[in-house]
Amino acid sequence: VWSASTRTLIQEIRKKFGDDAIVRGSEVAQTQRIRIPTGIFALDAAVGGGIPKGRVTLVTGGFSATKTSICLKIAAEAQKRCRYCMGLFKYEVLNEEGDIKIIRPCKCGESIPNMVIYADVEGTVDFYDYAPKLGFDPRIALVTQPDYAEQGIDVIDALVRSGDADLVIVDSIAALVPTTEIEKSAEKWQQGLGARLINKFCRKLSSGLNSLGARNMQKPAVVFINQERMMIGIMYGDPTVIPFGKGQEFTASLWIVLKAGKPIRMDERGRRLEQKGEVVGQTISWKVKKNKVSPGQGKTGLFDFITLTSKKLRIKTGDVDNREQILGYAKVLGVVEVSGGAHYSYQGTKGHGERKFIYALRKARKWNQFKRDVTRLIQAQNLAYGGNEEE
């Protein structure tokens, strides 16, 4: 395809700047297929199978929108997978030093879990009780709680450039405090100080990711958590804004907005109630505000996040019910036959109503096959899903 002079120029560039200075586009494309699932089926389908490695993902939302919880679930999903092939494997953590015993290896045979770095800037994450309930194991993760913003930025930059990290979560951008703000009186206002610092952080981060090489399959996924604030005097349009400038919005390849909805109430039999009953969770709405990694920008959805553990109700903290989401995709894609508005059928298994049909599939041990069929059709029809079918 290329002329002799172009080939000579490529060789000279690689000799001077390294082999990864200029590569084929197809080689870069292979590194961009790798995803870490969020555990929310509809959201994963909207963003190409999960958050992308080698890119920055921005997760924002208001108060109690499960931003930290969802990121801990993403970290838990990363820990289930091998850092080389991203395949699921089963292991047991033996001690506090993080030694593991392989029970069922992954496809590539390496069976080394993704290294998760959690920057707990706010200092509010409960790694002792709450995080393990979401599936996150702090014994095989690294945690940093920086004293000031510059320290946190330098630590994260060093970890990214090392190439050893696979997932870096910053919780949160709004809590990063510059040294100037610490040293000077609280009465003195530093206009744009935080925004300038975060803009510099974003530039260093982009440089750090690029320094790992265009063909590197082990680039880390970086997740920024940020809060939503309200602008004063806005009468029209969206009054919400995220702290510390626009740099993070431009740097992020994926921007997910979360919003808290109605509480989930259940009676003793596990039936959903509108008013009475015990609060066991919360309905969360999500929106893909920016998406440069798949054709899913602007998509929205809902999911139920469970916050209470109850053996009687058969629920536990951190549960996300994906069954109705999967069934919704199945109806759109024609995987399931629907008649009379509420009669469902799949490979001879029938049910009246969504819940009874899902129960019938699970009882007939066809649910996993049903989910795989839905996933394959989403991939075949280019509906932006690149998830792992082993789940």
pLDDT at 45: 87
**Degrees (nearest 5) of the Cα angle 292, 72, 140?**
110
Q: What is the pLDDT of residues 329-356, one digit of tens each?
A: 899 888 999 988 889 999 999 998 888 8
Same domain, 304 and 341: no
Same domain, 104 and 135: yes
**Degrees (nearest 5) of the Cα angle 304, 309, 310?**
105
Q: What is the pLDDT of residues 40-99, one digit of tens each?
A: 998 998 898 899 999 999 999 998 999 999 999 999 999 999 999 999 999 999 999 999
Q: Give the domain-ending residue among 281, 296, 321.
A: 321
pLDDT at 382: 54
Same domain, 149 and 175: yes
Q: Which residues of 97-114 are buried (b: 16+ CB within 10 A; e: fewer)?
A: eeebeeeeebeeeebbbb
pTM: 0.90
Assess if residue 342 is contained within a domain: yes
Assess if residue 10 is contained within a domain: no
Same domain, 221 and 312: yes
Q: What phi and psi, each to the nearest 5 degrees, are found at residue 194?
A: -65, -40
Cis peptide bond upstream of 172, omega within 30: yes
Q: Domain residues for 90?
A: 24-321
Mean pLDDT, residues 105-110: 93
Average pLDDT across the chain, whole number:
90
